[in-house]
Amino acid sequence: MEPRNTILLPKSQKIVSVLGENIKLARLRRKYSTQQVSERADISRPTLVSIEKGNPNVRIGAYVKVLSVLGLEKDFLEVAKDDALGRKLQDAKLIVRERAPKKSVSKDK
């Protein structure tokens, strides 16, 4: 299997990096070693290190496992929970697309 190479825009990469840093800080506050967390999350230690470094190639399931070990899995439920832009678009009814009426074909020629 070929290794994935995900390329993110700088803004998106910054978000993933900050998420990794926050996960690392949460682990350190709990005084867990990388070995303890990786064993409990059933992932490899290098995968945990990649998460903490903000590597975008780590699958999302690994993030959920690590957050679960740290007792933070409910934080994932907050992602996109309050979609202000989506609600505004929905309220403005900009999303609704209606089809144009079909043209009738006349048989008179």
pLDDT tens for each residue of 42-89: 999 999 999 999 999 999 999 999 999 999 999 888 888 888 888 887
Name the burial class of residue 65, with classes exposed (0-12), middle (13-18) and buried (19+) by CB atoms within 10 angstroms of its CB.
buried
Give the CATH number, domain containing residue 36: 1.10.260.40
Domain extent for 28: 10-92
Is position 100 within any domain?
no
pLDDT at 94 over 70: no
Q: In this predicted model, what pLDDT tens digit does every residue of 8-35 receive, in sequence order?
A: 899 999 999 999 999 999 999 999 999 9
Helix, strand, coil in percent for the chain, rounding step 5? 55, 0, 45
Q: Which pLDDT does position 65 carry in this prediction?
A: 97
Q: Quick one: CA torsion of 101, 86, 60, 71, rounded to 10 degrees?
A: -140
Is position 5 within any domain?
no
